Chains A and B, each alone.
Chain A
Amino acid sequence: MKGRRARSLLGTDQLTLPEITAILRLARRMDPRRPPRLLRGKRVVLLFYEPSTRTRTSFEFAAKALGATTTLITATSSSIERGESLIDTAWTVTSLGADIIVVRHPSSGAPYLLSRFIPVPIVNAGDGLHQHPSQALLDALTIMNHKKHLKGLRVVIVGDVFHSRVARSNAHLLSKFGAEVVFCGPPDLVPEVSATLAPGVLVSHDLDAALPGTDVVMSLRIQMERLAGKQIGVEDYIARYQVTPQRMQLAKSDAIVMHPGPIVRGLELANEVADGPQSCVHEQVANGVKTRMAILATVLKAGQ
């Protein structure tokens, strides 16, 4: 969060270790029921060009908990529908007094475009296939609630890595802390080039072989139409890559299971795992609010 785009949160690759640590430390101290009113009188605009449940809601709760007012702008209920450009829309909300713009967009890099032209902090709430930094930060918070350090952990990220901004943001962040990240899935969804993303990233097409020694199993959302597009049978995918109780036996006994949601039940995770003792999916959602409180407070403070 330094330099020209000092106040924006665009991607985890641009964050330094101390910056990440500071956000996580702040997030841990955040209590949504007794929040510090750090954003009192501020206006947070949620500019959502894609549907979202948990990200949108948790940014909204986070902003309100800190005392800000929020406005949600979606693609279908605004001038966006009439063809207004992204920059013009962002300028409009800036002129209306936005102090922070939280943006979700189907095009990779859209928040970068805004940060180049718009003078208020931009928070990336997910851009195309590129990044979802607040998710990676809340995932790190969740992992650290269970593990002492991120350094040295083995994290298997299984699913449609190619199309996953969550995978990219997590890999950058975990790599910075010295964790070993294994991207796992069928070759069409986990191409070999994935290993070039960050230091310490490995690629595997065999989940059973990847799991031994694993501390964290992170399952990603699979879109059925993408399996069909790559001619991957659903049954075949489930047989090879679904995270099942049997497979979890291969990982470390204290391994945790995570999923950014929304879960397609019966496809990515077996129900016994999703609802089982190793699952952290609800904790992730709860940490989402705290983490986003910390993010909003951080970008606004840095901007003052």
Chain B
Amino acid sequence: MKPKTEGNLLLIKGGRVIDPAGGIDREMDVLLRNQRVAELASPGALKARAHQTLNVKGCIVAPGFVDLHVHLREPGQSYKETIATGTAAAAAGGFTAVCAMPNTSPVNDSVEITRWMQAPERQSVARLFPIAAATAGSMGEKLTDFAALQEAGAVAVSDDGKPVLADRLMLDALRTAARLKLPVVQHAEDSRLTAGGSMNLGPTSFRLGLRGMPDVAESDVVRRDIALARETGAHLHVAHISTRDAMEAVRQAKRAGIRATAEVTPHHFTLIDENVADFDTHFKMNPPLRSKADRDAMIAGIADGTIDAIASDHAPHACHEKQVEFERAAFGIIGLETALPIAITVLYHHFKLPLWRIVQLLSSNPARLFSLDGLGTLTPGAHADVTIFDPKKKWTYDASQSRSKSRNTPYDGWSFTGKVIATIARGRVCYHD
């Protein structure tokens, strides 16, 4: 279908609207007009003559998903991914907005790169929000100009992949960010404890003869950061949490009223270190897949509200960076297209979590965490970003058909229940099953 945009009316008919921010969970029709949500009404009640109608009976109509953690590799590594291909994959996965990490080449530590990423020439299919580097070149020495970066469109700061370890620097970052109401996203890893490691430390790493990364390398940094967040009143956002201990730290922090939030990836609540069994580098990521007890703690954290958001940590790499010896292989997997199917298959069908909660984790919560105004809700007046998915549809993921430039996924050939049917960004259908 070839939808028009401006001034057009798009009617989404027959679906079940789940809008946690608006407090709605029932069958409703949704009318989009001029890139905004115009009206929600009982099925059949909307009489407007829409230019385009989507009949989505049996499907969930949710606010567009927001991914707080993706790597789109531009500028500098367009052989892995571009903003255009990465956001096309996002759209196919139901994400209408993505937050792009700054570990590009060069590192996004400047107003220029922040603006460049958002320029129309990048042909972004979804909304792109840059996360700027917290320190110059992510070298952990000198803070970047948070105010200028925020002004240029950055929604958070982070040295993702290269954690800010120096206490004083992290304190300064949090203090500055607090003043600007800018979240500080920390990839919690004490790299002094993980040097040379390529998977979780435990029985499996011993059996495979691979150097291990201990769980304390994550939880120690999370505890330190929480203490500093309490000092400064800043918003600390823990990226891709993976250990039971760190989860407990965040749980306690929230109880104590500290502004600490956390995201979890689909792989950390689904897979475990034992999956590395035959050295398949598609199971190599950082943080690594952890023990079964850690994985269970991720589920518990999702269920009890300790976890705020599901983020993909979409990390594309070319074949030649993955089809090498396990220790030499790049960390990371693509994940934009499989996040919803995994969430539905694992959290909804297996663990019986309500769809409401899953939509919250994928949409309203992340939009709120990074203050993305007008996103994460279907309240009239909000941006016309909508994700429509069928929680019962069975299908098989074929990585060779991915919209991403890369194919580094452990889920190739996996069968899922739950699929994105259509994605609408800025009032335009940018993906249709």
A residues near B255, Cβ cutoff 8 Å: none
Is there contact, CB below 8 Å, between A113 and B326?
A: yes
B residues near A117, Cβ cutoff 8 Å: 323
B139 on the A face (CB < 8 A): no
A128 on the B face (CB < 8 A): yes
Number of residues of chain A lying within 8 A (CB) of chain B: 26
Pick the residue among A110, A165, A194 that contacts B206 (CB under 8 A): A194
Q: C-beta contact mask, A248-274 vs B, less than 8 Å → 1, else 0?
A: 000000000000000000000000000
A96 on the B face (CB < 8 A): no
Of B29-37, B125-133, B147-155, B207-215, the one with at least 4 CB within 8 A of chain A: B207-215
Interface residues of B in 241-290 (CB under 8 A from A): 278-280
Q: How far in angstroms is the closest Cβ of chain A from B100?
A: 30
Report the bound CA distance from A107 to B326 in whole Å: 7
Report the bound CA distance from A194 to B324 in whole Å: 27
Is there contact, CB below 8 Å, between A130 and B206?
A: no
A residues near B203, Cβ cutoff 8 Å: 193, 196-197
Interface residues of A in 167-210 (CB under 8 A from B): 168, 191, 193-194, 196-197
Report the bound CA distance from A253 to B326 in whole Å: 45
A-B contact count (CB 8 A): 62
Is there contact, CB below 8 Å, between A127 and B323?
A: no
Residue of B nearest to A131 (CB): B209
B residues near A105, Cβ cutoff 8 Å: 325
Is there contact, CB below 8 Å, between A108 and B209?
A: yes
Is there contact, CB below 8 Å, between B209 and A168?
A: yes
Is there contact, CB below 8 Å, between A191 and B206?
A: yes
Residue of A nearest to B207 (CB): A197
Interface centre among B208, B209, B210 (most CB of A within 10 A): B209
A residues near B207, Cβ cutoff 8 Å: 13, 168, 196-197
B320 on the A face (CB < 8 A): yes
Report the bound CA distance from A194 to B205 in whole Å: 10
A87 on the B face (CB < 8 A): yes
Q: How far in angstroms is the closest Cβ of chain A from B241?
A: 24
Q: How far in angstroms is the closest Cβ of chain B from A221?
A: 15
A residues near B279, Cβ cutoff 8 Å: 108-109, 112-113
B220 on the A face (CB < 8 A): no
Q: How far in angstroms is the closest Cβ of chain A from B319?
A: 10
Is there contact, CB below 8 Å, between B206 and A197?
A: yes
Report the bound CA distance from A299 to B208 in whole Å: 23
Q: A108-B279, A113-B279 are in contact. Are A86 and B325 (CB under 8 A)?
A: yes
Report the bound CA distance from A110 to B328 in whole Å: 10
B296 on the A face (CB < 8 A): no
Q: C-beta contact mask, A86-125 vs B, less than 8 Å → 1, else 0?
A: 1100000000000000000101111011001100000000
Residues on B lying within 8 angstroms of A by beta carbon are 202-203, 206-210, 278-280, 320, 323-328
**28 A-B pairs whose Cβ atoms sit less than 8 Å apart in the complex:** A85-B320, A85-B324, A86-B324, A87-B324, A107-B325, A107-B326, A107-B327, A108-B279, A109-B208, A109-B279, A112-B278, A113-B323, A113-B324, A113-B325, A117-B323, A127-B209, A128-B209, A128-B210, A128-B327, A129-B209, A130-B210, A168-B207, A191-B206, A193-B202, A193-B206, A194-B206, A196-B207, A197-B207
Which 8 residue pairs are nearest across A and B when measured between Cβ atoms? Answer: A129-B209, A109-B279, A130-B209, A107-B325, A108-B209, A196-B203, A112-B279, A109-B326
Residues on A lying within 8 angstroms of B by beta carbon are 13, 85-87, 105, 107-110, 112-113, 116-117, 127-131, 162, 165, 168, 191, 193-194, 196-197
